[in-house]
Structure 1
Amino acid sequence: MELSLEILSWLFVAALVAGFIDTLAGGGGLITIPALLLAGVAPLEALATNKLQSVFGVATASATLFRRRLLVWQEMRALFFAALAGSALGAASVQLINPQMLDWVIPLVLLLIAAYYLLAPKAGDLETRPRIRALTYQRFWVPVIGFYDGMFGPGTGSFFATSAVALRGYTLLDATVRAKFLNLATNLAALAVFALGGELVWSIGLVMLVGQALGAWLGTQAVLKGGSRLIRPLLVTTCVLMLIRYFWTG
């Protein structure tokens, strides 16, 4: 697939902006997937290529967080593999499941996330008592969110972060930090499945991954400096924008 320099430049910028936003609040796919479709990439190839560039963004963010000792492998290992398994299953199922089934599920979840932070403005400010056991979160919620990411994707970071705040009692900053690494797992698994299926458009993916990595690095610096004060409004805004997109395209 041959594209002009102008279109490739546009895709680079789209990936850079998506990497920045995705690191802070999730929802980078809201930018990159429509950009790929507008560039003439087929839907399944767009999903696959989006995973290629996304994985470099979350890998950049995760590496920075590990260096700052905000992430510890021993604490994240079981969650990482749970997210990996869920995403692999989702990516393998994407050709067997009618994606229209998500047309009402995703807007509902996005609405609940936005309402949660708007109606409970202090949610995630302080660590609270967990509402479910760690094992339940690991064996059910993480794989379910991973499955969604493997099958579709946009908003996964928001889902991981909000579930950790609401169900496990983390602060919003800690939940966002952990969400980056879980998002790395889901992207890696989906990327492997799509690569085996030959769905990747490498020329586009390689250009976008550079922009995604740069945007993710900038976003990580913003997370470390701005904390939850910066994350919360972006997370709500991202959810609202994704809601608008679903209803507009629906």
Structure 2
Amino acid sequence: MVPLEDGVEDVIGKAARGLGLADEPLARAAGVSLEEVRRVKRGELDERLIRRLASVLHLRGDALVALGKGDYRPRDPGPIPGFLAFHTAWSGMTVNAYLVWDLRTREAAAFDTGGDCDEMLGAIRDRGLQLRAIFLTHTHGDHIAALDRLKGETGARAYVGDQEPLPGAEPFAAGAEFSIGSLPIRTLLTNGHSPGGITYLVSGGPRLLAIVGDSLFAGSMGGGNVSYADALRNNREKVLALPADTVICPGHGPLTSVAEEREHNPFFTS
């Protein structure tokens, strides 16, 4: 079972950094001691403290406490025909990549590469697929580590949002549309974690898929490394505005859904 990417301490840390609140001003605003803030950031479960910090950080206290208690785990969507997730190691963490294909034509697309592409290449061979395209959600190293090899062994073309140009990948403007076999692929700009992060919406199969990279995680989100405000806005207005049963395929952690994150994500529930 793929673990959640973030715990309470990660969510609090990301929100505090996004709002520009160091530990001392955060403690003052929450009416708690500096040591209490640091205890929570070390992963200590204290419901009272978590709720005090959540109120200052504009996080949903109930969802944050549930995350800390281990009460939140997104429902497994189960097998999805024409879809596989891959979880590979990269610098002490696990990163996700995805393979989607047309069940009739066997044409396929990869979304990111993960730390290596051994499993993905094996799946392509075993299923008799033709990899036509490699779509990159963003250009952080853990998501593109195997790009050269995947291109070289399959002959697939790579594509990336034009706000994050990358040698060997063809740039496109957000809003561009692609297709793999009979499967339409729409693109949304979901920047904030990175300058030009892209979410890919794959329709035409059994479930609508939103392949979001590090824009959103089950119970959390990617840090707003470039713009915390943009990261929040894009997730709220674009990803979480999708139909409730949309499967969210994040760059780290387990699969989730729009319904799950509307209800349980501390950054967005209301």
State TM-score, norm by structure 2: 0.23
Higher relative contact order (CA 8 A, sep 6+): 1
Mark the structure with the bigger radius of gyration.
Answer: 2
Report the TM-score, using the length of structure 1 for normalisation: 0.25
| Bigger fraction of residues in strand | 2
